[in-house]
A and B are shown apart, each in its own frame.
Chain A
Amino acid sequence: MIRCDDVTKTFRKNGAEVVSLDRFTAEIAEGEFVAVRGPSGSGKTTLLLTLGGMQRPSAGAVQFGGRDLYGLPSAERARLRSGEIGFVFQMFHLVPYLDLLGNVLLAAPGRPSDAERERAAGLLDELGLAKRASHRPGELSAGERQRLAVARALLNRPKLILADEPTGNLDPENAAEVIRHLAAFHRDGGTVVLVTHGTAADEHAGRIVRLEQGRLVAD
């Protein structure tokens, strides 16, 4: 599904060049649940954003479904992100002035259809948020916010979910709940790439990848 060939990403920080991802090469097959581990600054988030078409690598190539992801025009890449990839972030990144339903429907590619509204309501129900559909994210607990972010990621029935430390701000109970939902998505045939420090996802992840200083050190 995704293939990375010698993907390198460098940044300039305080005048010095920092290598965030160093000749990363790997392939992720459709239906895999991959946990990406590594210390802070090891390039995990960079890898996730690069896989999601959000950050062009300095060198190397990323193939998504056989297409050169960064060879696509940006509008085409945006369409691909919208239709086939779902993101879940540690900081939730919810829109504070939209209610829960509005936040989930934000993922709809255009003006939400009745079917999309129905699916959004169904997802909120599935994730235990139906009663709070008209609330705003600021009124939710951290666990509820992350479940909302998961619902948003699932709206368009993506093939891939990229989750960046989704349990980093959650207590163990809520963390397990979020992982359960990602595992359910995986069971239904979806692909998950999960960046994590913890071990909560170990029982679901079929593959664990370890990064250090931007390099793949274990797979």
Chain B
Amino acid sequence: MTIWAHILREVGFRKLNALFSLLGLTLAVTIVAASQLLAEADERETRRVTRDMGFNLRLIPSKTDLGQFYRDGFSRHAMEATTLDRLATQLTNNVSFNHLVGSLRRDYTINGQDILLAGLSKTFVAPGQGKKPMGFQIKEGTIHIGSEIARSQELKKGDAMHVGVRSFTVANDPIETGTPDDITIFARLDDAQSILGLSGKINEIEAIDCLCLTADEDPLAILRKEIGGILPEVQVVHQRTLADARAKQRQTREKVNAVVLPSVLVAGAVWVALLAVLNVRDRRQEIGILRALGKGGGRIAGLFLGKAVLLGFVAAALGVALGTWVVLEFGPSLFPVTKKAIQASSTLAWQLLVATPVFAAFASFIPAMLAVSHDPAETLRED
């Protein structure tokens, strides 16, 4: 009889022990699978929400009067667009900023309406992090307009709009935001430079800081030191409220993961190990007779470890299916903004299908060794 046939018959005989092991492991896999999928969904939601909150780091020409900057919302001074390129070349995992966008903002009048014109460069992201650029990309020949401009100029998505001497297509459905964006036209940077006659100029670099509420150091001091070393001609404005909100959300997620996952793994391992110990106790006479029949320690350990692997595999399949179902069912109400991106993960499924049997075998290792080291003479002499 093969070892697997032997294991299957034992599982069929001691159904309750196998069932409880399976339940414990399935529950653990369900929690791990669901928490991983939820963590990914949470990451997406956070990214999206913080993206919508905007950049929290603003680098403006050093000559800028902050009074004027806060009053107008942009600097009246300009700097070379190459400043952005210089900073972008320093983007690595070792700096505390990311998602760089160069912009040129000025007040502008169009058809008698005072508005803001903002030109946006493409976004530069630190390489190798797999992060998608924040902010929206403006396609060639298009602009995005604020709701107040759309209302005054009677424009909607797809309409043509003349800005300066050029005609653009409105690419967005203007929605009222209650911010200066409602009176802003967003164009590609080179288009805005051309319209404003400021070729090769920007007046701000927007970015996201990567510092997460360092308790012992002032994040602004770190950022000023880092950026000042690269670009001495800029001053750093840090929007602390946005930065803190972003950092707090990320920290909360990390804390939850740091507590939930290890707890589930430890509880699962203890549960499986206890049931395996009970199984070994139940099978002491069987172990004794197997020894008397000349079976070695490898075969006896194999019976227990093989059982753990088998149950681990079945539990992984059930747990992945259950965890995925839970997330697909309840995830959309938890993460409404990015609900369409919530989906099953085949990578996670494969990882758990491999890891769970290994985990179960590890949890059963000590009981299996107890079985191997058990003195068969002791049980065989029992009446």
B residues 334-383 touching A (CB-CB < 8 Å): 376-377, 380-383
Q: In whole angstroms, how far apart are the Cα atoms of A152 and B295 in the complex?
A: 14
Hey, which chain B residues are within 8 Å of A106, CB to CB? 1, 289-290, 293
Hey, which chain A residues are within 8 Å of B13, CB to CB? 96-97
- Interface assignment of B9: CB less than 8 Å from any CB of chain A: yes
The answer to whether A83 and B376 touch (CB under 8 A), given A93-B289, A95-B286, is no
Smallest beta-carbon distance A109→chain B, Å? 7
Smallest beta-carbon distance A69→chain B, Å? 13
The answer to whether A95 and B289 touch (CB under 8 A), given A75-B296, A79-B294, is yes
The answer to whether A81 and B292 touch (CB under 8 A), given A90-B383, A97-B14, A102-B9, is yes
Closest to A112 in B: B1
A102 to B1, Cβ gap below 8 A? Answer: yes
4 nearest CB pairs, A to B: A82-B294, A97-B13, A55-B377, A93-B289
Q: In whole angstroms, how far apart are the Cα atoms of A82 and B292 in the complex?
A: 8
- Interface assignment of A54: CB less than 8 Å from any CB of chain B: yes
A83 to B294, Cβ gap below 8 A? Answer: yes
Could you jot down 28 A-B contacts, CB within 8 Å?
Answer: A49-B377, A49-B380, A49-B381, A54-B292, A54-B377, A79-B294, A82-B293, A82-B294, A82-B295, A87-B289, A87-B292, A87-B380, A89-B289, A89-B380, A90-B383, A91-B285, A91-B382, A93-B286, A97-B9, A97-B12, A98-B9, A102-B1, A106-B293, A111-B1, A111-B2, A112-B1, A152-B293, A164-B380
Closest to A155 in B: B293
A45, A81, A97, A98 — most chain B CB neighbours (10 Å): A97
Q: In whole angstroms, how far apart are the Cα atoms of A52 and B381 in the complex?
A: 13
B9 to A107, Cβ gap below 8 A? Answer: no
The answer to whether A91 and B383 touch (CB under 8 A), given A54-B377, A97-B10, is yes
- Interface size of A by CB at 8 A reads 32
B285 to A93, Cβ gap below 8 A? Answer: yes
Residues in chain B within 8 A of chain A (CB atoms): 1-2, 6, 9-10, 12-14, 285-286, 288-296, 376-377, 380-383
- Interface assignment of A105: CB less than 8 Å from any CB of chain B: yes
Q: Say which residue of B1, B285, B289, B381 sits within 8 Å of A45 (CB atoms).
A: B381
Hey, which chain A residues are within 8 Å of B290, CB to CB? 106
Smallest beta-carbon distance A112→chain B, Å? 7
Q: In whole angstroms, how far apart are the Cα atoms of A167 and B238 in the complex?
A: 91
Q: Say which residue of B1, B293, B377, B380 sits within 8 Å of A81 (CB atoms).
A: B293
A91, A93, A152 — most chain B CB neighbours (10 Å): A93
Hey, which chain B residues are within 8 Å of A45, CB to CB? 381
Q: In whole angstroms, how far apart are the Cα atoms of A95 and B380 in the complex?
A: 13
Hey, which chain B residues are within 8 Å of A49, CB to CB? 377, 380-381
The answer to whether A52 and B9 touch (CB under 8 A), given A45-B381, A93-B285, is no
Hey, which chain A residues are within 8 Å of B380, CB to CB? 49, 54, 87, 89, 93, 164
Q: In whole angstroms, how far apart are the Cα atoms of A138 and B184 in the complex?
A: 85
Hey, which chain B residues are within 8 Å of A1, CB to CB? none
Hey, which chain A residues are within 8 Å of B286, CB to CB? 93, 95
Main SS of chain B's interface residues?
Answer: helix
Q: Say which residue of A78, A91, A96 sits within 8 Å of B296 (CB atoms).
A: A78
Hey, which chain B residues are within 8 Å of A102, CB to CB? 1, 9
Q: Binary interface profile of A, 91-126, with partner B (CB < 8 Å = 1, else 0)?
A: 101111110001001110101100000000000000
Hey, which chain B residues are within 8 Å of A96, CB to CB? 13
Closest to B297 in A: A74
Smallest beta-carbon distance B191→chain A, Å? 77
A residues 49-72 touching B (CB-CB < 8 Å): 49, 52, 54-55
Smallest beta-carbon distance A99→chain B, Å? 9
Q: In whole angstroms, how far apart are the Cα atoms of A104 and B304 in the complex?
A: 21
A residues 169-189 touching B (CB-CB < 8 Å): none
B2, B291, B383 — most chain A CB neighbours (10 Å): B383
Q: In whole angstroms, how far apart are the Cα atoms of A98 and B5 in the complex?
A: 10
Smallest beta-carbon distance A62→chain B, Å? 14
Q: In whole angstroms, how far apart are the Cα atoms of A91 and B12 in the complex?
A: 23
Closest to A111 in B: B2
Smallest beta-carbon distance B16→chain A, Å? 13
Smallest beta-carbon distance A111→chain B, Å? 6
Q: Say which residue of B12, B292, B295, B383 sits within 8 Å of A52 (CB atoms).
A: B292
Having A52-B292, A55-B377, one finds 9 other A-B pairs with CB under 8 Å, namely A45-B381, A75-B296, A93-B380, A94-B289, A96-B13, A97-B13, A98-B1, A105-B1, A106-B1
A residues 134-151 touching B (CB-CB < 8 Å): none
A93 to B288, Cβ gap below 8 A? Answer: yes
Hey, which chain A residues are within 8 Å of B296, CB to CB? 75, 78
Hey, which chain A residues are within 8 Å of B292, CB to CB? 52, 54, 81, 87, 93
Q: In whole angstroms, how far apart are the Cα atoms of A89 and B377 in the complex?
A: 12
Q: In whole angstroms, how far apart are the Cα atoms of A93 and B295 in the complex?
A: 15
Closest to A168 in B: B383
B293 to A107, Cβ gap below 8 A? Answer: yes
Hey, which chain B residues are within 8 Å of A87, CB to CB? 289, 292-293, 380
B1, B285, B293, B382 — most chain A CB neighbours (10 Å): B293
B1 to A54, Cβ gap below 8 A? Answer: no
Q: In whole angstroms, how far apart are the Cα atoms of A112 and B296 in the complex?
A: 16
